[in-house]
């Protein structure tokens, strides 16, 4: 969530000690976390005591996310342009359901509420087939990587933009809806999508009683 919110930048090296301070963890725990994220392809080593969040991480299924990025933001913008005042009432009610689920730390309720919000908005698109395709692509790049943040009460505001989308529609800022959707899809890779079945995404980063793979920390990158 710190990376998503920009507390840990993606475009410059950051010292491992600083990350430990941000996490309020000791150096050994921080290294275990960084090793796990390094194996997942999110981090690269910079010098002796720093890492950098990779600007892009290749992963199985990334092609689906890229297709989403090509289609979904514009589809949401067009759907937003067709929203009537009565639709805004419905969308705001659904957005409140998302916030209630987050406040209750109920991941399944959050998923249902968020899916219902986007499906309702897409239903306003004049091209029903495109709306259906966007909905299917969302289901294939689900948000299971958000389970732990939701259940631990640390979900980033930027990953639940439903209420802001309603405000943008009400203000007639349809370009803002498109831009917000693009930003959200770009951040999916930082919460595990589309690799949500990985066991390490729940519980401890890695078992503490096994020899860890430190390859990504052993070889500095230029």
pLDDT tens digits, 136-165: 888 877 666 788 889 989 888 888 899 999
Angstrom distance (rounded) from CA 168 to CA 164: 6
pLDDT of residue 206: 36
pLDDT of residue 178: 97
pLDDT in tens, 51-106: 888 765 545 556 777 888 899 999 999 999 999 999 999 999 999 999 999 999 99
pLDDT in tens, 194-220: 443 333 333 333 343 434 444 444 444
The three-class DSSP label of residue 13 is coil
Residue 105 gets which letter from DSSP?
Answer: T
Contact by Cβ (8 Å): 212, 34: no
Domains of the chain: 2-58+198-218 (1.10.10), 62-191 (1.20.120.530)
């Amino acid at each position: 969530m710190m990376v998503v919110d920009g507390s840990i930048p993606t475009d410059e090296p950051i010292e491992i000690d600083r990350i430990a301070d941000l996490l309020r963890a000791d150096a050994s725990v921080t290294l275990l976390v960084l090793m796990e994220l390094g194996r997942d392809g999110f981090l690269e080593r910079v010098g002796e005591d720093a890492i950098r969040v990779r600007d892009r991480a290749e992963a199985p299924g990334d092609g689906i996310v890229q297709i989403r990025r090509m289609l979904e933001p514009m589809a949401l913008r067009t759907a937003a342009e067709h929203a009537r005042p009565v639709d805004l009432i419905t969308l705001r009610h659904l957005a409140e359901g998302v916030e209630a689920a987050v406040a209750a730390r109920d991941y399944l309720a959050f998923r249902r509420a968020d899916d219902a919000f986007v499906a309702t908005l897409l239903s306003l698109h004049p091209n029903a087939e495109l709306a259906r395709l966007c909905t299917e692509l969302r289901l294939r790049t689900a948000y299971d990587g958000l389970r732990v943040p939701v259940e631990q009460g640390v979900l980033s505001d930027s990953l639940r933009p439903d209420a802001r989308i309603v405000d943008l529609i009400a203000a007639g800022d349809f370009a803002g809806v498109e831009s917000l959707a693009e930003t959200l899809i770009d951040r999916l890779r930082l919460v595990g999508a589309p690799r949500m079945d990985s066991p390490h995404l729940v519980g401890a980063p890695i078992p503490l009683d096994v020899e860890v793979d430190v390859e990504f920390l052993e070889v500095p990158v230029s």
